Amino acid sequence: MASRYIANTPDEQKRMLGAIGSGSIEDLLVKIPPKARLARPLGLTPALAETDLIRHMTALAARNAHADSHVSFLGAGSYDHYIPSPINHLILRGEFFTAYTPYQPEASQGTLRSIYEYQTMIAELTGMDVANASIYDGASSLAEAALMAHSVTDRREIVLSRAVHPLYKRVTATYCEGPGVRLRDVPAPEGVTDLAAARQVVNATTAALVVQTPNFYGCLEDVAAAAEIAHAAGALLVVVADPVNLGVLEGPGKLGADIVVGEGQGLGVPLDFGGPNLGVFAAKNELVRRMPGRLVGATVDHDGKRGFVLTLQTREQHIRRAKATSNICTNVALCALMATIYLATLGRRGLVKVGELSTAKAHYAASRLTKVPGVSLRFTAPFFKEFALKLPKAPERVLPRLARQGFLAGVPLKTFDRALADCLLVAVTEKRTKAEIDAFAAALEKAVA
């Protein structure tokens, strides 16, 4: 359809321009500053034969550094976890590959069944009563939780720890601007939330206190203490959690969380240069009707046979806009299916093993890397699979050198906090080997020498 409006004859273009009161294409571009406009032709090469085009695109793609070509220590919300091979074999089936929110749901029993299994697994992992049929990503999940807390409490203030992922906070601020919900920060000077400061900030105007564990710096938070602070003021506790870690760590729901959100990318979803991802969202039973998105339930039909239905559909495309809990959430069904297959393939013991290996290898890496002269841990708080390193040289000088040696060394923290300009966030998953970690330490030692 778009091509109909792009490839027009000159007469058609003239009529379209006239309809909007413009005499020429140049008139449309007059608002763009001359310095921002290209003053020469694009210089496109002639059309290529298909085989030549594939060769050309392959050569361009080979210039990217990625988790298959380099040893990845990148984290900050997206991690290089192992992806079991059955996932691709199953999701590439036609009935799954085109899966989206079912608009004639009861006719899509297979899709509903897979979503129901996903919800069940996420609820069990997070320690919550109910989980919805997924949201875009971790950032939008937190933003939806903030709006949900505002709706539940009728309060207009969200208090967030500074150890919550900074990009999640930016998305939350965007969501909250429309309804006029104010965001306030609690400091985390030592890598974890300052709970004494939180007690001073959380009050009768607070809809929710938000903490993340492990937090953006990889450190573990005291969720139970945060829950006491929030509930004493009549606020909700929202916890951002990585579900991959919950095979080992206690589910936040069992520690007092009212809403648990997070990024589910590690549950079998490829990195794919930044997306698509999987937004996890779970809550207590009493909050279920305020949840965004949709909820699949199990029932029986007229003959007593088990079946699945969309029990709740609170998205504005499904019900009247005025009654919707959200108008921009969606169900990334294919990514949720990946997570379902991942959890079913690994099983309970497999997920525990992933967590145990990740944390053991991360602690070995931290011990090995801090033996490099001038390198130290930035924070002393307990961490899980990710930690902040303080370097004797600026990370932006060190990272290119390490990349040339085949290492994606980590995420420089200067982008998020100038006070941490000399710090690098390093993540270690179960995929990293002792040989890779030792080689990384040796390369880092040369890079900072």
pLDDT of residue 320: 66
- CATH 3.90.1150.10 placement within the chain: 71-83+347-448
pLDDT of residue 243: 97
Q: Using an 8 Å Cβ cutoff, are 203 and 220 in contact?
A: no
CATH of domain 71-83+347-448: 3.90.1150.10
The reported pTM is 0.88
Which tens digits make up the pLDDT trace of 26-78?
A: 888 888 898 898 888 888 888 999 999 999 999 999 999 999 999 999 999 99
Percent of the chain with pLDDT over 70: 94
Phi, psi of 383 (to 5 degrees): -125, 170
Which tens digits make up the pLDDT trace of 182-213?
A: 999 999 999 999 999 999 999 999 999 999 99
Could you tell me the pLDDT band of residue 100, with boundaries at 50, 70 and 90? low
pLDDT of residue 23: 82
Fold of 86-342: Aspartate Aminotransferase; domain 2 (3.40.640)
What's the 3-state SS for the chain? CHHHHHCCCHHHHHHHHHHCCCCCHHHHHCCCCHHHCCCCCCCCCCCCCHHHHHHHHHHHHCCCCCCCCCEECCCCCCCCCCCCCHHHHHHCCHHHHCCCCCCCHHHCHHHHHHHHHHHHHHHHHHCCCEECCCECCHHHHHHHHHHHHHHHHCCCEEEEECCCCHHHHHHHHHHHHCCCCEEEEECCCCCCCCHHHHHHHCCCCEEEEEEECCCCCCECCCHHHHHHHHHHCCCEEEEECCHHHHHCCCCHHHHCCCEEEEECCCCCCCCCCCCCCCEEEEECHHHHHHCCCEEEEEEECCCCCEEEEEEEECECCCCCHHHCCECCCCCCHHHHHHHHHHHHHHHHHHHHHHHHHHHHHHHHHHHHHCCCCCCEECCCCCECCEEEEECCCCHHHHHHHHHHCCEECCEEHHHCCHHHCCEEEEECCCCCCHHHHHHHHHHHHHHHC
Could you tell me the pLDDT band of residue 402, with boundaries at 50, 70 and 90? very high
- CATH 3.40.640.10 placement within the chain: 86-342
Which tens digits make up the pLDDT trace of 221-261?
A: 999 999 999 999 999 999 999 999 999 999 999 999 999 99
**Averaged pLDDT for residues 113-136:** 94
Please state, rounded to an integer, the average pLDDT across all residues of the chain: 92
Which tens digits make up the pLDDT trace of 20-34?
A: 888 888 888 888 898
Which tens digits make up the pLDDT trace of 287-336?
A: 998 999 888 999 998 899 999 988 887 665 666 666 777 777 777 888 99
Could you tell me the pLDDT band of residue 2, with boundaries at 50, 70 and 90? very low
Which tens digits make up the pLDDT trace of 350-387?
A: 999 999 999 999 999 999 999 999 999 999 999 999 99
